[in-house]
Structure 1
Amino acid sequence: MPPLVEAFPASSLASRINHLPSGKTRKPAVSDLTKCELRELIQYHCDLEGPREDPKSRVVCQPFLRLFRQCANGMTVETTAWEGKYDR
């Protein structure tokens, strides 16, 4: 199981990406996150409509988009909430 990572507001993402969960500084540092390549991932949230025992019940899935920035040093960070600040 991966270690827990502290949650923080999207507004502080640019200043927090250069610090590892251990508290150490990331090397090499990322100076401008907007220069990292933008990646997309579509995930789905599914719910059962109707009783579980009813064969006419159906599973309904809703897609939602997650955005990531992938930098040259191999760092990838989710930026879904942060991306609204910038034009894509």
Structure 2
Amino acid sequence: YDPCNLFVKNLDDAVIGNLEDLKKIFEPYGQISSAFLATYPDSNITKGYGFVAFAKREDAENAKEKLQNSFVGKKRLFISWAERKEERSKRL
């Protein structure tokens, strides 16, 4: 896994409707190097998950610890370390 990259799911699309909304939740914890919010291509409605990568591992760890299971809107966030598809497939 990448120790700076977080996988975030269970995003409430009423609160997190675009990439900037996702970044706003994580920005207080450190410099974000990249972020991605999965959306349906035909409507731009979010799929309820995304990725946030921090410049520093410590910032990613802190954000994961502080935001895990916190409510954003009406949904509780689930955060884990992002894994490449190949790594996840081997494990499953």
TM range (shorter): under 0.3
**Greater relative contact order structure (CA < 8 Å, 6+ sep):** 2
Larger Rg: 1
TM-score by length of 2: 0.23
